[in-house]
Amino acid sequence: MTGTAWQDFLQRLATARQLRLFLDYDGTLADFAPSPDVIQQDPELISLLYRLAARDKFLLAVVSGRSLQHLRELLPFKGMLLAGTYGLEMQLPDGTCHAVLTLEQVRPTMERVKPRWQQLLDGQYGFFLEDKGWALALHARFATLEDAQRVLSAARNEVEALSPGPAFAIEHRPRFLEIYPVEANKRRSIERILAQHTPPKALPVFAGDDAHDEEAFSAVLDAGGYCIRISREPVETRAQFQLETPAQMRQWLTWLENA
């Protein structure tokens, strides 16, 4: 990024006393894993975030659609806030955990959906059913687009036939289907983190790469903060700034560390 606005932004970051840094994980801090069940620690990223988290200036919060357990394994150190399942479950910097809902409110619905989805995947190639505890996701990254469309549409019909009710939302993309509690929402999560876990004077900044992050951008903009969208292509976004890749994102974080 270049330009006056970007330079002003960097200046603001350099001089701010404290920054609340909200960071998405996949597609923002790291390239997408080959499969969502792959948990591959990235020593370079761990070291970078560990150093940032150790400084009083940086209040780090990694906010991801991954389960909290995955995030803990990817980033195995304290000092950061980890918000999993779009913020439904959280680990505070001191290691204490809490969740917005109880699993008892969620599991009965998931247990009804899961066997039906499993049945649809029987004999199919290129699909992966991920049980996040709080959510169920059907990935079709390695299926043909035709198979993906057919199976995910059938899976969506199965969910709708079960009428899970207004407490649950469905996300359906060409190669992805997920059922999750509406409380699992990055915007709500960011509002909670700002209200309950952030000093009022800390400047909020959010970096993310998809539609869930766009929801969260609104909360950060409302709080007078800044947003960075990660995308290789020009994209319609609420964010003031854009970086192209996780590699550029890491360069920016390294710049922050030394600013």
24 scored as a contact of Mg ion (CB under 5 A): yes
Distance, in Å, from the CA atom of 245 to the CA atom of 151, rounded to the nearest integer, reads 31
> How near is the Cβ of 185 to Mg ion at its closest, in Å?
15
Using the minimum distance from each CB to Mg ion, give the nearer residue, 50 or 176.
176
- Of residues 199-218, those binding Mg ion (CB under 5 A): 209-210
Contact residue for Mg ion among 26, 178, 183, 191 (CB under 5 A):
26
> How near is the Cβ of 6 to Mg ion at its closest, in Å?
22
> How near is the Cβ of 139 to Mg ion at its closest, in Å?
14
List of long-range contacts for 252-258, beta carbons under 8 Å, 24+ apart: 252/228, 253/48, 253/49, 253/52, 254/48, 255/10, 256/13, 256/19, 256/52, 256/58, 257/48, 257/51, 257/52, 257/55
Contact residue for Mg ion among 27, 36, 164, 225 (CB under 5 A):
27
DSSP codes, 23-84: E--BTTTBPPPSSTT-----HHHHHHHHHHHTSTTEEEEEE-SS-HHHHHHHS--SSSEEEE
Which span (17-25, 149-157, 165-173, 185-193) binds Mg ion, by CB under 5 A? 17-25
- Of residues 52-91, those binding Mg ion (CB under 5 A): none
> How near is the Cβ of 22 to Mg ion at its closest, in Å?
12
Using the minimum distance from each CB to Mg ion, give the nearer residue, 27 or 164.
27
- Active-site residues, by number, are 24
Distance, in Å, from the CA atom of 191 to the CA atom of 189, rounded to the nearest integer, reads 5
Binding site for Mg ion (CB under 5 A): 24, 26-27, 209-210
